[in-house]
Amino acid sequence: PIPQSSCMFEHLPLERSSEDVDIIFTRLKEVKAFEKFHPNLLQQICLCGYYENLEKGITLFRQGDIGTNWYAVLTGSLDVKVSDTSNHQDAVTICTLGIGTAFGESILDNTPRHATIVTREYSELLRIEQKDFKALWEKYRQYMSGLLTPPYGTPLIEPHIPHRPTKTITQVPSEKILRAGKILRNTILSRAPHMIRDRKYHLKTYRQCCVGTELVDWMMQQSPCVHSRTQAVGMWQVLLEEGVLNHVDQEHHFQDKYLFYRFLDDECEDAPLPTEEEKKECDEELQDTMLLLSQIGPDAHMRMILRKPPGQRTVDDLEFIYEELLHIKALSHLSTTVSIFKNTTHHQKGVFNQGEEGTSWYIILKGSVNVVIYGKGVVCTLHEGDDFGKLALVNDAPRAASIVLHKEDFNRILRDVEANTVRLKEHDQDVLVLEKIPAGNRVSNQGNSQPQHKYIVMSGTPEKILEHFLETMRLEATLNEATDSVLNDFIMMHCVFMPNSQLCPALMAQYPFPSQGTEQEKMDYALNNKRRVIRLVLQWAALYGDLLQEDEAAMAFLEEFYVSVSDDTRMIAALKEQLPELEKIVKQHKVLLQLFNTSDDRTQKRQPIRGSDEVLFKVYCIDQTYTTIRVPVSSSVKEVISAVADKLGSGEGLIIVKMSSGGEKVVLKPHDVSVFTTLSVNGRLFACPRDQFDSLAPLPEQEGPSTGTVGTFELMSSKDLAHQMTIYDWELFNCVHELELIYHTFGRHNFKKTTANLDLFLRRFNEIQFWVVTEICLCSQLSKRVQLLKKYIKIAAHCKEYKNLNSFFAIIMGLSNVAVSRLSNYLISLFFLKDPSRNHRAYRLTVAKLDPPIIPFMPLLIKDMTFTHEGNKTFTDNLVNFEKMRMIANTVRTVKFCRSQSFNPDAALTNKNHQDVRSYVRQLNVIDNQRTLSQMSHRLEPRRA
């Protein structure tokens, strides 16, 4: 894993070793503000930069201050506030600085700060002092002038290039797209020459043309990375944008229709045919070209759609934009209703000027914009994913492209959202907020037209949300059908805002007979109402499964509920049909407690760990002796201390410390639960009096192996290794309960629940990652290292083939580790799925095309849920923000989808004698100390002077 920012800068500049600088250098290269910096300049920044971490609401500096530091944002965000008076109370926020933003160049000439900067959330910054920044400016001015904003940097002005006759969007094609076009044209001429020929339409002849539908058909046949016609359209759009392919009537949109397109080379008379040498080159380069176009095609496709007037966008166009906008930072918090409205592109030098009335809201898709205050200069620069619309003034940097939502559209959205909102009030307070959304114009099986709109819950009190779902439940749907996904969202997420202790009484309160009406009316109402409650209880029990057996209140409720339903069947015979299923849930026998031990799982298939399962675990003392305790997995730290104290005879002032192999120590809080499975790969638990905390040191066994196992596993086939890894990973993944993701996201101590299965699956990711780095760094022979690299690439490819994306990414990230990537004979080819741009879009698009079973890239799922949780309040105006619950539940459903088909191991591979391979992949010994690995790497290949 990438070190946290604080770890990177743990040493002051003068104390930093070459390994420290390497780690910082690798991390900073991934930060947008530094991606274009010359390596020599970035190396110097690594030597002199300081780390700052600030809580929300901290003022970094005020407008008018004389600056002393330059900053770059590593994590978090900061507000830029400007006041026309000397009173800071009058300051207005003009924009927000996101990750990758750099600011503070005014320290070069000691001019006052042009704005006040305040942290919007917890933020981490890189800080460079004035004297160091000036020294860098003097030494690296030629590198920095094009990177800093004017007046310190050189203004980047587009050279004037006259339009070519073809009126392409991009005036001069890039070299790589020119090459891509040549390869595709030559390959077509080589493999399907009939596609490029003279064509007649309405008595007019068009020379040397291709047809749009034929180009899409052909592209889909050439590469497995092209999954759909929509994807192929985006790939051809890349060539059309750059003028390497042109529509005969100069249209800018590539279409999957009977329309004529011509390659740039065929614009000339007597265009040459490819030589045999060129055909051979094209065969070799075709797949790389396809991969390149598949990566940049979605951006081109999106630009194509956004260039259309809003009224001309199709349903498919809107769906495509919607999927893309979900991954843009500025739109991530908007409701789904707002996100799908009209957008258009905007290209010009000045977006708007100081004093002008604001008419548009902008989001930066590519490039950057400078924020300028007249007479004060550049305040800051905004980058990809940032938005602005409350700005007093903005000047575009060259080549910036923004989405624009026009003012009248934005006002209409606000009006429409409010007009479509239904609020239920009690005692003048909102208790339920619903929003009307299109339901699609559908016709039922009986031929009746279905409602064109439906209402979804946006927020409400827990009781009113439950009441709403019971009232709107469709009883005709069977339990196995997804009766209503939002009802499932409620069942999955209720633990966050309505724990079982609150839900169970509320369900019982919804169950009794009505007291008013005729006997027949009361019977009809009771039948429907009771059936709905029973349906919800059955769905609730199906989701929770064995977890209910650990909840005494839930089991007591189920038993009471079963008795009530049994009694009611005497009066309402129709309830009998649901009684057997309810009986089966209530009368399940409790499974005997299993003894859980993380180190002894090599031979038997894994079973899910439950909080009540007991664990035998070693807790070490300061003298590196240990005591073995036996406690439930979900035990709190307070209970662990009590168990240790019983063994040691005294617990006076004891603390429990989590110790990594690198010596990082974390004192665990008394309310922390299930700490055994949250340790790092080589982590250990220590117990000691608080005053001896500083004397704790890692155990020798935490260092990891001193010799590699290449001699053992080089004899095993890459396919066998990947297959056995996938079997084991599937066992781990299959044990993860969906609710563990929710407990992990919201803090399991809030639920007093274990996330042991998820912890072990996440730890497996790090284990595989460090396995790759460990084996390469322990391999002293250069020739063996080269073979090892190739073997890991093959194993990763087989994992991808088995749809084991978790191990695939772990191996690729291991190969990308600085201790490996710095080696001069580093031979890994880039796997496009690892591309993190647009929130790992390449990965998401690929997964969307896969059928289950799939082992997903779990750290990304966790990131998505954390991002949604931290970016949205759980309660708004004392009401449950159910829209947030729906967003998180949607991510959790990904896990359910991935496991919707069971994994059946390849019988041909499983039947072989693979016990040695099976044992090997289940007991990997690794070094997980990044500093140790970097030192080993430098010993293998010292840094050149």
Higher pLDDT, 358 or 82: 82
List, for residues 52-70, the tens digit of each pLDDT value. Answer: 888 888 888 888 888 899 8
Q: What distance lies between CA 189 and its chain's CA centroid?
A: 42
Give dist(CA 805, CA 799) in Å, integer: 7
Query: Span 535-547, mean pLDDT?
Result: 87
The reply to whether 297 and 184 lie within a common domain is yes
Q: Count Cβ atoms within 10 A of the Cβ of residue 448 and give its class: 0-12 exposed, 13-18 middle, 19 or more buried.
A: exposed
pLDDT category of residue 929 using cuts at 50, 70 and 90: very high
The reply to whether 313 and 346 lie within a common domain is no
* Dihedral over alpha carbons 304, 307, 312, 315 (to 10 degrees): 50
Give dist(CA 624, CA 692) in Å, integer: 13
pLDDT, residue 660, reads 93
Q: Does residue 564 have a pLDDT over 70?
A: yes
Domain of residue 522, residue span: 461-586
The reply to whether 119 and 206 lie within a common domain is no
Q: DSSP for 441-489?
A: --B-TTSPBPPSEEEEEEEE-HHHHHHHHHHH--TTS-TTS-S-HHHHH
On average, the pLDDT of the chain sits at: 79
54 with 94: CB under 8 angstroms? no
Q: Is residue 161 part of a domain?
A: no
Query: Span 500-507, mean pLDDT?
Result: 91
List, for residues 78-102, the tens digit of each pLDDT value. Answer: 888 888 666 666 778 877 888 878 8
Query: Span 168-178, mean pLDDT?
Result: 74
User: Of 586, 617, 643, which closes a domain?
Assistant: 586
The reply to whether 198 and 278 lie within a common domain is yes
Q: Is residue 491 part of a domain?
A: yes
Measured in degrees and rounded to the nearest 5, phi and psi for residue 533 equal -65, -40
259 with 153: CB under 8 angstroms? no
User: Which residue is listed with tokens 């890459």?
Assistant: 718
Q: Does residue 924 have a pLDDT over 90?
A: yes
Q: Does residue 353 have a pLDDT over 60?
A: no
**CATH number of the structural domain spanning residue 399:** 2.60.120.10
Q: Is residue 362 part of a domain?
A: yes
Q: DSSP for 803-816?
A: TBHHHHHHHHHHHT
pLDDT, residue 824, reads 57
539 with 581: CB under 8 angstroms? no
List, for residues 591-603, the tens digit of each pLDDT value. Answer: 434 444 444 444 4
pLDDT, residue 479, reads 47
The residues near 193 (Cβ < 8 Å, ≥ 6 apart) are: none
873 with 884: CB under 8 angstroms? yes
> Of the ranges 66-70, 237-241, 321-325, 382-386, which one carries the lowest mean pLDDT score?
382-386
State how beta strands 614-620 and 595-596 pair. parallel
Confidence (pTM): 0.65
Q: Is residue 418 part of a domain?
A: no
**CATH number of the structural domain spanning residue 311:** 1.10.10.10
pLDDT, residue 36, reads 67
The residues near 467 (Cβ < 8 Å, ≥ 6 apart) are: 510
Tokens of 584: 């089966």
Give dist(CA 682, CA 684) in Å, integer: 7
Query: Span 522-542, mean pLDDT?
Result: 85
Q: How far is CA 311 from CA 8, 280, 308, 315, 601, in A?
A: 51, 46, 8, 11, 60
pLDDT, residue 15, reads 73
Q: Does residue 933 have a pLDDT over 80?
A: yes
Q: From 688, 596, 611, 676, select the one nearest 637 (Cα to Cα).
A: 676
Tokens of 207: 């020379």
Total domain count for the chain?
A: 6
List, for residues 23-33, the tens digit of each pLDDT value. Answer: 787 777 777 66
**CATH number of the structural domain spanning residue 508:** 1.20.870.10
The reply to whether 605 and 523 lie within a common domain is no
**Which H or E run contains 138?**
helix 130-144
The reply to whether 925 and 776 lie within a common domain is yes
List, for residues 697-732, the tens digit of each pLDDT value. Answer: 999 999 999 999 988 888 899 999 999 999 999 999
The reply to whether 404 and 535 lie within a common domain is no
The reply to whether 127 and 40 lie within a common domain is yes
The reply to whether 763 and 889 lie within a common domain is yes
List, for residues 179-234, the tens digit of each pLDDT value. Answer: 999 999 999 999 999 999 998 887 788 889 999 999 999 998 888 778 788 889 99
Q: Is residue 329 part of a domain?
A: no
399's torsion region: left (phi>0), alpha (psi -120 to 50) or beta?
left
List, for residues 780-807, the tens digit of each pLDDT value. Answer: 988 888 889 889 999 999 999 999 999 9
pLDDT, residue 591, reads 43
Q: Does residue 540 have a pLDDT over 70?
A: yes
Q: Percent of the chain scored above 90 by pLDDT? A: 27
Give dist(CA 873, CA 357) in Å, integer: 32
Q: DSSP for 873-936?
A: -SEETTEEEHHHHHHHHHHHHHHHHHTSS-----HHHHTS--HHHHHHHTS------HHHHHHH
**Cis previous bond, 836, omega within 30:** no
**CATH number of the structural domain spanning residue 673:** 3.10.20.90
Q: Is residue 423 part of a domain?
A: no
Query: Span 237-251, mean pLDDT?
Result: 89
Query: Span 904-923, mean pLDDT?
Result: 78
Q: Is residue 394 part of a domain?
A: yes
Give dist(CA 914, CA 603) in Å, integer: 12
Q: Does residue 441 have a pLDDT over 80?
A: no
pLDDT category of residue 379 using cuts at 50, 70 and 90: low
Give dist(CA 47, CA 16) in Å, integer: 7
> Of the ranges 311-320, 384-393, 661-670, 779-788, which one carries the lowest mean pLDDT score?
384-393
pLDDT, residue 396, reads 41
The rounded radius of gyration (Å) of the Cα atoms in the chain is 31
The reply to whether 191 and 299 lie within a common domain is yes
Higher pLDDT, 589 or 35: 35
pLDDT, residue 443, reads 44
User: Of 671, 702, 733, which closes a domain?
Assistant: 702
List, for residues 635-651, the tens digit of each pLDDT value. Answer: 899 999 999 988 887 77
The residues near 647 (Cβ < 8 Å, ≥ 6 apart) are: 627, 628, 629
Q: From 292, 295, 299, select the one nearest 321 (Cα to Cα).
A: 299
pLDDT, residue 600, reads 45
The reply to whether 678 and 714 lie within a common domain is no
The residues near 625 (Cβ < 8 Å, ≥ 6 apart) are: none
Q: Is residue 324 part of a domain?
A: no
The reply to whether 560 and 582 lie within a common domain is yes
User: Of 565, 586, 607, which closes a domain?
Assistant: 586
List, for residues 385-412, the tens digit of each pLDDT value. Answer: 666 654 333 334 444 445 555 556 656 6
Q: Percent of the chain scored above 70 by pLDDT? A: 76
The answer to whether the Cα torsion of 876, 877, 882, 883 is positive or negative is negative
